[in-house]
Amino acid sequence: GGKLLKGRGPGEGRAHLVHMPHPGADLASFSIPPSVRTKLLKAGFKATTDLDGVGALELSKDAQISREEALGVLKEVREGKAPASQKAANVSRSALDILHTTRNLSPIITFCGEMDGMLGGGVPMGEVTEFVGTPGIGKTQLGIQLAVDAH
């Protein structure tokens, strides 16, 4: 959804739809430069709902920021960019994209020639590899080392 506003923004006098994809989200969760964010807060703009129906010119005057900065803020908030905390959850990739990404990743070398040989050069990145064995053989230690090496 969006909110129908009349007589605001670039189409002064015309009704237009303003899409607020994250209503009520704190402006601090968006990628807004700190200096601009500070001026927005001082002017009383704390959440996306505070920007409902506000045009770039009005925001520029109220927050004492440049028109370009105001346009940047409105674009960031209104064009559906997720707040930083939601970005990871909203990423959508095709299986083909994931395949191409994982093909380009180098395997993690274990420095155990036999194991690396069985795994085709090391533990593949971007895939699940299960290590099984009797207790105390070093599965956990190997997993921790692989996690460190992958980072």
Biggest CA–CA distance in the chain, Å, is 75
CA distance 151 to 145: 10
Instruction: Show the tokens assigned to 33.
Output: 């430069």
Q: Which residues contact 80 (CB under 8 A, 6 or more apart)?
A: 19, 21
Yes or no: say if 74 and 56 are a contact pair by the CB < 8 Å rule.
yes
Q: What angle do CA 91, 92, 97 make, to 5 degrees?
A: 115
Residue predicted with more confidence, 10 or 49: 49
CA distance 62 to 78: 18
Q: Using one digit for the tens of pLDDT, what is the confidence trace for 21-78?
A: 556 788 877 888 888 988 999 999 988 888 888 888 999 999 999 999 999 888 888 7
Q: Is the pLDDT of residue 148 over 50?
A: yes
Q: Using one digit for the tens of pLDDT, what is the confidence trace for 69-105?
A: 999 888 888 775 555 544 444 456 788 877 777 777 8
